[in-house]
Amino acid sequence: MAGAAPTPSPEAGGSDATYARLRRPLLAPTWTVIGVFLLLPVLLMVVYSFLTKEFRGGVEWDFTLAAYDQFFVTRGLFGDEPAQIEWTYITIFWRSIWQAGLATFLCLLIGFPTAWFIATRPEASRPIWLFLITIPYWVNLLIRTVSLRFILRDQGPMNDALIGLGVISQPLEILNTNLAVQLGLFYSYLPFMVLPIYAAVERYNFALSEAAADLGANRWRALFEVVLPVVRPGIVAGCILVFVPALGAFLAPDLLGGAKTFMIGSLIDEQFRGSQGNWPFGAAVSVILMTLVLIVLMIQARAAARAGQ
């Protein structure tokens, strides 16, 4: 095989030895970053989830499964009833998955045509379009979400405009509903869908679409049989980049939603605030969330490996 690595010649032996000697020190920065910023925090989180809650927040080093028990099991208000499944947190998880999934779907629905549009502009004007997409994201997510609050409220510009145009007579009560949270999520993560799809479409060979048409595929069949499968990696990347952060989002549900729109992110956030917090419980919810995300990523990776064969 032409691509196989050449066997080292005796003369090259010296540099091979140098490589072996320097390998560890040269890789040290990488391992440090991975260790300090990735493995250590995750480990801390896992350990904390098995500790006991201290009265004023914080933890006591007393290993217990209490946090997970609190998440999945209820024994009534006073803890004296037979154990039953606790639905409160599972419902929050289910709502989060549903909201994040819907946001992903909407981002895909709007993001794909947007990415397609940009990628099919003349090469010189594409950076301008991408620039325009990213401009709003120069502003901090918190500020953008707060702004959305003002736009959506009953006397906000959106309702004023709709009433002014005669579309509605009473202001729409969007704020503090799931719809507001959904709008917030969709708006926050849209560029994460547009950019990877753009990258995939830009590399797409449009002769493939011609070939599909030539072989009798109309526009829709060409889209579903050729275009979408070929740019699939970009679509999958975009969906993951939207779904994962949307699942753990807490700004949008916090600022745009109300009590009935609680999501995982807000739940975790609450556990680490002030003296009412419950650190082990917050850590346990995080571990469960992370496990969920890992499962999604593993399913995706396996599907990609199968498709790549």
Partner 1 sequence: MQTAISIRQAVKRYGPITALHGVSMDIADNEFFTLLGPSGCGKTTLLRMLAGFEDVTEGEIHLFGERIASLPPEKRPVNTVFQQYALFPHLTVLENVAFGLKMKGVPLSDRNARAGKMLELVHLSGFADRKPSQLSGGQQQRVALARALAPQPKVLLLDEPLSALDLKLRQAMRVELKLLQEETGITFIFVTHDQEEALAMSDRIAVMSSGQVQQIGTPREIYEAPVNRFVADFIGETNLIEVDVDTVTDGQATVTLPGGHTVVCAAASNNSGRHALSIRPERVAITDHAPDLQATVERVIYLGTDLHLITRLDGGEPFSLRLQNASRVALPEPGARIGLKLEEGAARLLAD
Task: Tell me which residues touch partner 1 (CB under 8 A).
Answer: 205, 207-208, 210-218, 221, 225-226, 229-230, 232, 307
Show the CA angle centred on residue 181, arms to residues 177 and 186, nearest 5°. Answer: 145
For partner 1, give the closer residue by CB, 7 or 205. 205
| 123 vs 214 by CB, closer to partner 1 | 214
CA pair distance 88, 65, nearest whole angstrom: 18
DSSP 91-126: HHHHHHHHHHHHHHHHHHHHHHHHHHHHHTS-GGGH
Shortest separation between residue 223's beta carbon and partner 1, angstroms: 13
Q: How far is the CB of 213 from partner 1 (least distance, A)?
A: 4
What sign for the dihedral angle of Cα 138, 139, 142, 148? negative
Q: How many helices (H) and strands (E) does the chain have?
A: 14, 4
CA angle 22, 25, 30 (to 5 degrees): 125
Among residues 6 and 308, whose Cβ is nearest to partner 1?
308
Q: How far is the CB of 127 from partner 1 (least distance, A)?
A: 25
CB 188 within 8 A of CB 145: yes
Report, in Å, the least distance between residue 305 CB and partner 1.
Answer: 14
d(CA 111, CA 139): 20
| Alpha-carbon dihedral sign for residues 84, 90, 94, 95 | positive
Q: 283 and 63 in contact (C-beta within 8 Å)?
A: no
For partner 1, which is the closer residue by CB, 294 or 304? Answer: 304
Q: Are 266 and 258 in contact (CB under 8 A)?
A: no
Contact 67, 280 (CB under 8 A): yes
Catalogue the E-assigned strands of the chain: 52-53, 59-60, 73-74, 84-85
Instruction: Return the number of the residue (46 or 217) whose C-beta is nearest partner 1.
Output: 217
Closest CB 228 distance from partner 1, rounded Å? 10
Shortest Å, Cβ 195 to partner 1: 22
173 vs 225 by CB, closer to partner 1: 225
Token code pair at residue 38: 């990735």
CB of 302 to partner 1, least distance (A): 17
Q: Supply the minimum distance, in Å, between the C-beta of residue 128 and partner 1.
A: 23
Cβ-based nearer residue to partner 1, 41 or 229: 229
CB 119, CB 198: distance < 8 Å: yes
Q: Which is nearer to partner 1, 201 or 283 (CB)?
A: 201
